[in-house]
Homo-oligomer: A and B are copies of this chain.
Amino acid sequence: MPRNKKKLVKEVGEFGFIALLRRMFPIANKGIVGIGDDAAVFNRINAQKLLFTTDMVIEGVHFKKGTDPLKVGYKALACNISDIAAMGGIPKYALVSLGISPNKEIKYVHALYSGIKQLADKFNVLILGGDTVRSGKLIVNIALIGEANQGKIVKRSTAKAGDLIFVTGELGNSFKSGHHLNFIPRVKESQYLVQNFNPTSMIDISDGLAADLGHIIEESGKGAVIYEEKIPKRGGCSLQQALCDGEDFELVFTLSESEAKRLLNVRKKAFRFFEIGKIIEEGYFLIKKCGTKVELKKTGFKHF
| Closest residue of B by beta carbon distance from A130 | B54
Across the interface, do B135 and A58 meet the contact criterion of CB distance under 8 Å?
yes
A128 nearest in chain B by CB position: B52
1/0 contact string of A129-168 vs chain B (CB within 8 Å): 1111111110101011110100001011100000000000
Q: How far is the CA of A302 from the CA of B16 in the complex (A)?
A: 12
Task: Indicate the size class of the contact surface on chain A.
Answer: 35 or more
The complex places the Cα of A151 from the Cα of B52 at a distance, in Å, of 21
A-B contact pairs, 27 of them (CB 8 A): A15-B298, A33-B153, A36-B156, A37-B219, A38-B86, A38-B156, A39-B84, A39-B86, A39-B87, A41-B50, A44-B46, A44-B48, A46-B47, A50-B50, A52-B95, A53-B129, A55-B131, A56-B98, A56-B133, A56-B139, A57-B133, A61-B134, A62-B133, A102-B304, A135-B139, A141-B141, A145-B145
Q: Which 5 A-B pairs have the closest CB atoms?
A: A143-B143, A10-B304, A39-B53, A141-B141, A56-B97
A263 at the interface (CB under 8 A from B): no
Residues of chain B contacted by A87 (CB below 8 angstroms) = 37-39, 41
Flag if B156 contacts A99 (CB, 8 Å): no
Number of copies: 2
A8 to B303, CA, bound (A): 13
Is A242 part of the binding interface, using a Cβ–Cβ cutoff of 8 Å? no
CA distance A71 to B52 in the complex (A): 26
Bound-state Cα–Cα, A54 to B136, Å: 20
A203 (CB) vs chain B CBs: closest residue: B38
Distance of A38 Cα from B143 Cα, bound (Å): 12
B218 touches A13 (CB 8 A): no
CB pair B43–A47 under 8 Å, yes or no, is: yes
Decide yes or no whether A197 CB sits under 8 A from chain B: no
Q: With the chains together, A97 CA to B136 CA distance in Å? A: 18
Taking A13-B304, A41-B148 as contacts, is the C-beta distance between A97 and B133 under 8 angstroms?
Answer: no
Residues in chain A within 8 A of chain B (CB atoms): 8-15, 33, 36-58, 61-62, 83-84, 86-87, 89, 93, 95-99, 102, 128-137, 139, 141, 143-146, 148, 153, 155-157, 203-204, 207, 218-219, 298-299, 302-304
Cα distance, A8 to B49, chains bound together (Å): 37
How far apart are the CA atoms of A9 and B304 in the complex, in Å? 7
Closest chain-B Cβ to A15's Cβ sits at a distance in Å of 7
Nearest B-chain residue to A47, judged by Cβ? B44
The answer to whether A40 and B12 touch across the interface, beta carbons within 8 angstroms, is no
- Across-interface contacts of A45 in B (CB, < 8 A): 47
Q: A49-B43, A49-B44 given as contacts; is B14 within 8 A of A54 (CB)?
A: no
Instruction: Kindly report which residue of chain B lies nearest to residue A10, judged by CB atoms.
Output: B304
Question: When the two chains form their complex, are residues B41 and A153 in contact, meaning their CB atoms are under 8 A apart?
Answer: yes
Partner of A53, one of B38, B46, B139: B38
Q: Choose from B10, B39, B97 the contact partner of A146 (Cβ within 8 Å).
A: B39
